[in-house]
Amino acid sequence: MAVDGLSEFDAVLAIARRGSFRAAALELGLSTTALSNLIAKLERRVGVRLFNRTTRSVSLTDAGLTFVEQIRPAVRALHDAMSTARSQVETPSGTLRINAFAAGAREVLRPLLIRFLKRYPQVHVDLVTEGRIVDIVAAGFDLGLRRADLVPSDMIAIPVGPPRSFAVVASPTYLEAHGEPRVPPDLLRHACLRIRLPNGALHRWQFQKDGEPVQIDVEGPMTLDEASLARIAVLEDMGIGYFMESDVHDDLDAGRLVRVLQEWTPPLAPLSLYYPSRRNPSAAFKALIEMAREVV
């Protein structure tokens, strides 16, 4: 099969997966125009329209749905065959696609991924972060990164990263003005930075002590969905924030933030890098797995 033919099939699967020409083009590293032309060329070759397209939405036609169901396993088999061929190369190279949630990606970026890329500069890592859990095989990823207790049972998992916990923090100035909460219900008398989850729901802060869980529906001046924004607000004395400890570790060490309610935030499940069983993994894949085992 010609290389451009495989590229066309990859394009169809990416659009079907993303539901958008623009999102698929970003994933594939193409312009939207180039992707549209690629699909138009394929539709002329097969003699049928694969997508219904409007200015607001993209959906598969009936013929397109059948086409995608039939080519998906074949395209996966071809990529596996290419990976098998690349595995014969001793120097790690090529692209590794990894799906992760944002906080986990931040935790492993420096100790694992950046270290890996500095050691193997011919490898490219395509890291996609999203809150929802995806089927990494169906979505075309080589590996996933999630909490160990969320890894599918049919996957091979490697614990990675340092011990993990939540951290409730505030600036010294805020605590001097408003006092320090001693137990989670005290937070109801404080300004707190609310967290919006990827599904749009507001997060109830989770605590636990002596095996007893506690959830607090905090209130405050802002609702945010990105930890880096919440960190800025807390540093500006806007209130108390709830973070992964790794996101504010440097601020705690430098004294810019103070941790409270630490006895109510016990260790969390470790992160795991996971993947399906692979018969002939590429040199890059094997090198990343080997390094991941070193940073447990």
Q: How much is the pLDDT for 30?
A: 87
Q: Indicate whether 58 belongs to any domain.
A: yes
The domain tally of the chain equals 3
> What pLDDT score does 1 carry?
34
Answer whether residue 84 is part of any domain.
no
Q: Tell me if 204 is assigned to some domain.
A: yes
Identify the domain boundary among 31, 47, 78.
Answer: 78
- Contact status, residue 155 vs residue 144, Cβ threshold 8 Å: yes
In this structure, the answer to whether residues 170 and 149 fall within a common structural domain is no
86 pLDDT above the threshold of 90? no
Partner residues linked to 157 by β-bridges: 274
Position 3 confidence tier, pLDDT thresholds 50, 70, 90: very low
Q: What is the pLDDT of residues 29-83, one digit of tens each?
A: 888 898 999 999 999 988 999 999 887 788 999 999 999 999 998 888 888 777 7
Do 150 and 282 lie in a common domain? yes
The verdict on 230 and 243 lying in the same domain is yes
Residue 218 has a pLDDT of 95
Q: Are residues 275 and 143 in the same domain?
A: yes
> 69, 99 in Cβ contact below 8 A?
no
Q: Render pLDDT for 273-288 as a digit per residue (tens, 0 to 9).
A: 999 987 678 889 999 9
Mean pLDDT along residues 197-224: 90
Do residue 108 and residue 146 come from a single domain? yes
Residues 279 and 152 occupy one common structural domain: yes
User: Does residue 14 sit in the same domain as residue 142?
Assistant: no
Environment class of 254 (CB within 10 Å of its CB; exposed 0-12, middle 13-18, buried 19+) = exposed
Contacts by residues 277-280 (CB-CB < 8 Å, ≥ 24 positions apart): 277/156, 278/83, 279/80, 279/84, 280/80, 280/83, 280/84, 280/87
Q: What is the pLDDT of residue 256?
A: 97
Q: Please enumerate, as own/partner, the contacts of 67-71 that have beta carbons within 8 Å and a separation of 24 or more.
A: 67/12, 68/12, 68/13, 68/16, 71/9, 71/12, 71/13
Are 158 and 172 members of one domain? no
Q: Do 153 and 242 belong to one domain?
A: no
Average pLDDT over residues 177-204: 92
Residue ranges of alpha helices (H) inside the chain are: 3-18, 21-28, 32-46, 62-86, 102-108, 115-119, 172-178, 227-235, 245-254, 283-294
- CB 183, CB 139: distance < 8 Å: no
pLDDT band at 88 (very low <50, low <70, confident <90, very high): low
Q: What are phi and psi of 245, to 5 degrees?
A: -55, -35
252 and 171 in a common domain:
yes
CATH of the domain at 40: 1.10.10.10
pLDDT exceeds 90 at position 144: yes
Average pLDDT over residues 113-119: 95
CATH code of the domain in which 142 resides = 3.40.190.10
For residue range 216-263, what is the model confidence (pLDDT) as tens digits? 999 999 999 888 899 999 999 999 999 999 899 999 999 999 999 999
Answer whether residue 46 is part of any domain.
yes
pLDDT at residue 5, as a whole number: 53
Q: Are residues 62 and 203 in the same domain?
A: no
The CATH number of residue 235's host domain is 3.40.190.290
Residues 146 and 278 in one domain: yes
Query: What pLDDT score does 164 carry?
Result: 87
Which tokens hold the place of 31?
């312009």
* Cα–Cα distance for residue pair 124/86, rounded to 1 Å: 14
Structural domain that includes position 17: 3-78
Residue 190 is given by DSSP the state S
